[in-house]
Amino acid sequence: MGKQRVAQLAYSEFQSAMLDEEKRRRKAAKIIAVLEHFRGPLGGLTVGDVGCSAGFIADELAGAGAKHTLGIDIDVPGLRKAADRFGERVAFVCGDGTALPFPDGSIDVLVFNHIYEHVVDPDAVVAEMHRVLSDDGALYLGLGNRLGVMEPHYKLPFLSYLPPALADRYVRASGRADHYYERFRTRRGLRRMLRAFHVWDYTLPVLATPTRFAGSELFPGALGRVARTVLARTPRAVLRLLLPLVPTYLWVATKTPRRPAGAALPQPPEQVRPL
């Protein structure tokens, strides 16, 4: 059997990517661009980053005009670093995502970016985010796909396809870890996880128009320009066939029905059919 999962209490201490400031700030720019396309500027809003770690994304959210910015995590070393650098404009909270310390409906915008595979009970965290999100609020989700061919943490092909015991053997044989902690879900599983929300899929819009969403590093160089052109012009019906294998989904979820407020795009956001 795979090793029993427990909470990762000091994730930034063993995952150096959480301390890569340039990369984290680029991710934040993409998150903010998607949120602003969906619902407009963040000015005057209360915004929370669930799984904030060292606080770079939370700091960018504050810089985008949020009135109150909250960073929530169980990563105590990361929170200490975050509070030392950004504590003057971000309130950092050591808190479990399954019991967020905020009143019902008190947060206008939540960010949950590449976190669900690391938590022990992602369904409980999603339920808590639904509770604290305001009725007209928005939840940004960066969601890894179990059927993405290259596993993003260990860079091993098909690792996330395997059952836990075999995945543990695979990472041990590669010399990259003693067990495989992360647990990804398929697109269908993610739809089930978000079934209480109304969800819009921004994956294809960001891939097709990366410069619009601060994602120009996704397709660098001449080949990148070709890829962007192909994605922008390919019929949506064809692109939909590829969605089950896309490595990462970018979704915006709301508690009540809403439509994106931003300008028309070559590949527009599309509602995710609920399960």
Q: How far is CA 224 from CA 17, 48, 218, in A?
A: 24, 33, 8
- Residues 90/112, Cβ–Cβ less than 8 Å: no
Q: Under a CB-based contact definition with an 8 Å cutoff, are residues 12 and 54 in contact?
A: yes
Can you tell me the distance from the alpha carbon of 269 to that of 36, in angstroms, rounded to the nearest whole number? Answer: 13
Q: What is the sign of the dihedral through the CA atoms of 109, 113, 119 and 124? A: positive
pLDDT bucket at 2, cuts 50 / 70 / 90? very low
Q: What is the mean pLDDT of the chain?
A: 91
Q: Roughly how many angstroms between the first and final C-alpha of the chain, as a whole number?
A: 30
> Do 96 and 133 touch, CB atoms closer than 8 A?
no
- Which tens digits make up the pLDDT trace of 226-273? 777 777 788 888 888 888 999 999 999 999 999 999 999 989 999 999
DSSP sequence for 21-87: HHHHHHHHHHHHHHHHHHH---TT-EEEEET-TTSHHHHHHHHTT-SEEEEEES-HHHHHHHHHHHT
CA atoms of 173 and 152, how far apart (whole Å): 17
**Longest CA pairwise span in the chain (Å):** 51
CA pair distance 127, 4, nearest whole angstrom: 23
From CA 100, how far away is CA 90, in angstroms rounded?
Answer: 17
Task: Give the model's pLDDT for residue 1.
Answer: 40
Please give the Cα distance from 56 to 77 (Å, whole number).
14
Q: Is 143 helix (H, G, I), strand (E, B) or coil?
A: strand
- Could you read off the pLDDT of 153-204 as tens digits, one per residue? 999 999 999 999 999 999 999 999 999 999 999 999 999 999 999 999 999 9
What whole-number distance in Å separates Cα of residue 214 and Cα of residue 259? 21
For 33, 107, 128, 154, 157, the CA distances from 171, given in Å and listed in that order, are 36, 39, 32, 8, 11
Least trusted range by pLDDT, from 43-52, 218-227, 238-247: 218-227
Across 174-245, the runs of DSSP E, i.e. the strands, are 198-201
pTM, 2 dp: 0.92
What pLDDT does residue 18 have? 65
Task: Tell me what pLDDT residue 260 has.
Answer: 98
Q: Which residues contact 1 (CB under 8 A, 6 or more apart)?
A: 164, 165
Q: Average pLDDT of 54-77?
A: 95
As a whole number of angstroms, the distance between CA 154 and CA 176 comes to 7
